[in-house]
Structure 1
Amino acid sequence: MAATSSVPRLHTARLLLREWRESDLAPWAAMNADPEVRRHLGGPLTREESDASVARFRAAFAARGYGWWAVEEQAGGAFLGFAGFDLVEEGSLPFHGVEVGWRLARHAWGHGYATEAGRACLDFGFTTLGLTEILALTTAANTRSRAVMERLGMVRDPADDYTDPTVPEGPLRAGVCYRIRA
């Protein structure tokens, strides 16, 4: 998997959001095999599922000009996880638009990386992509991600709470939507 020049790079004080590399596949798979990292996402992924997700991320960038970046710590080059955008297509949920998100390895939790990456993504979305509104979605129980959304200035309207039809019955099915406008 070679680096693709079509993927813009975002730099923050501590992070680099960049294209996916072959060397990211193993740490990404380890992250996706961690039940705690995947607690609000339906459980661990196999190596094959994890690798396939990276192929989808790269295809999204090629097709739309945005997607999920690999997140790396600038100081030492450590792979930390991902951050970026996905499309919430019309008809899939009660609302549609572009969603911002993040997922970090456990060793990266509690350092403000998700907020820092999220800010960089929002800036890119509003200034480069010209978006007027950006969504953030998570399960109602995911208090850590919800706290990041609130630190980013995103606001939840309980009228946007939803039941995710793609998730089996259970606590992960109840979702919340946060929004921020340019």
Structure 2
Amino acid sequence: MMHPKFDPQPTLEGVDICLRPLGPDDRTALFAAASDPAIWAGHPAKSRHERAVFDPYFDSLLASGGTLAVTERDGGRVIGCSRYYEAPDHPGSVSIGYTFLRRDHWGGGTNRAMKALMFAHAFAVVDEVWLHIDPSKIRSQRATAKLGAEHAYDGKLTMGGKSGVWQCWRITRAAWQARFAG
């Protein structure tokens, strides 16, 4: 169970994006965002752009109770999602992951803006946030390092139904504030 005072499905608004609880009516819009095969090329679930693979994935996101749809503030187009969850090896913790964005939002400030909103929400309750990355996801490792998270250790965990070795990254409230204050 995640930290008892933490709300895993807030609505968070930034300058260009909004994060809100994922709902059943988001299936078609999130599939449209996920339907580009290049999004999943560096991911273990390479065929998630196919409807037959996406639908069970979407169902698991809904069932998690911590998934947020990421939308453009102007127009409300769904551009991806991210999720709060408890780290399997840190009871009562808050973790962020299961994130993807449309390719037209890669390389700019969208991931940082999204994570800034999510970290700010988490750091109102906890002192550290965990991120878990499949060792094969180099792009995610680079993006996570740019946020100021540090690779703490590799651990044998079960994440998203997959057992294996995961990279365990963490960032503290103090490190986040030192890096991005002002």
TM over 0.5: yes
Structure 2: runs of 5+ lacking an equivalent:
1-7, 174-182
Say yes or no: does 1:162 pair with 2:159: no
1:143 paired residue number: 138
1:27 to 29, 35, 43: 29
> Which amino acid in the other structure matches residue 49 of structure 1?
P
SS in 2 for 1:72: strand
1:87 paired residue number: 86
2:96 paired residue number: 100
- Give the TM-score normalised by structure 2: 0.73
1:36 to 35, 38, 44: 38
Larger relative contact order (CA 8 Å, sep ≥ 6): 2
Identity rate of aligned residues, in percent?
22
> Which amino acid in the other structure matches residue 162 of structure 2?
V
Deviation at 1:30, TM superposition (A): 3.7
Say yes or no: does 1:178 pair with 2:175: no
**Corresponding pairs, count:** 157
d(CA) in 1 for partners of 2:72, 2:85: 22
d(CA) in 1 for partners of 2:149, 2:139: 14
Deviation at 1:123, TM superposition (A): 0.5
Deviation at 1:23, TM superposition (A): 4.4
> Which amino acid in the other structure matches residue 53 of structure 1?
S
> Which amino acid in the other structure matches residue 98 of structure 1?
V
d(CA) in 2 for partners of 1:48, 1:83: 16
CA RMSD of aligned residues (A): 2.5
1:64 paired residue number: none
Deviation at 1:28, TM superposition (A): 1.7
Structure 1: runs of 5+ lacking an equivalent:
1-5, 61-66
- 8 Å CA contact retained: 1:70, 1:83: yes
> Which amino acid in the other structure matches residue 48 of structure 1?
D
- 8 Å CA contact retained: 2:24, 2:62: no
Say yes or no: does 1:110 pair with 2:103: no
